[in-house]
Amino acid sequence: MLGSKRAEGIDHDDAVRAVVDILGDGGLLAVTPERFAAAVGLPQRRVQVDLDALAAEAFQRLSVAELADVRRTVLANPSPAEQLRSLLVWLATPPQDSDAVRLEAWALSRRNPALRTAVRENEEAWHSLVASVIRRGARTGEFLQADADEVAAQVISLIDGINAYQLIGYRSDFDRMRLLTRVLQAELGLAWGPQLLDALAPEPPAV
């Protein structure tokens, strides 16, 4: 919420949309008083808002919309194994801008309680989706019986690390994805581990 500090002539939804646009263009680090004032078309001296709260709400809107799109795509697949494959392909190879904003949110949330809450809720939402697919696969016999919440937490934490590695170019795509597929094969007994690995990061030809 804008709280007691409201920008003259700016509707709250318009303010959040302005920050959403800034996030899409330059990430959370670009959400500055100067950039916000330019986005809403007012002199900076007339803009007195809680940018931390606006950034948190904008991040939440973006992440909720993104997850809804991914959920529709994932659940369009007929089987839990294909649902999980589709989900992991997206999680392990997200749009670079989305991945960068997510990691910025993690870092900036140390000093922004509202953003920290939004990031935590986003993590819980992804966890819930992964766990629900794992439970579905266990019921149909496509996956080994396992603690869905525990496996989902392991998968999400590993993907967070893999995506951070990707942003800084640490290790090859093949090496990073191999870490993920090994966990899935061990925990869920998935036979398509190598095929998933090839789809995400084909092994470079031998020199």
pTM confidence score: 0.85
Residue 5 has pLDDT above 70, yes or no: no
Instruction: Return the ∠ at Cα 178 (arms to 172 and 184), rounded to 5°.
Output: 150
Q: Which residue has the higher pLDDT, 87 or 91?
A: 87
**Domain limits, the chain:** 12-200
Q: Which of 5-14, 118-127, 155-164, 174-183 has the lowest mean pLDDT?
A: 5-14
Q: Which of 32-41, 108-117, 154-163 has the lowest mean pLDDT?
A: 154-163
40-88 per-position pLDDT tens digit: 998 988 888 999 999 999 999 999 999 999 999 999 999 998 898 888 8
Q: Which residue has the higher pLDDT, 174 or 191?
A: 174
On average, the pLDDT of the chain sits at: 86
Structural contact between residues 40 and 10, judged by C-beta atoms closer than 8 angstroms:
yes
Q: Which CATH class is domain 12-200?
A: mainly alpha
pLDDT confidence of residue 162: 86
pLDDT confidence of residue 4: 35
Percentage of the chain exceeding pLDDT 70:
87
Residue 107 has pLDDT above 80, yes or no: yes
Residue 148 has pLDDT above 80, yes or no: yes
pLDDT confidence of residue 198: 58
Residue 199 has pLDDT above 80, yes or no: no
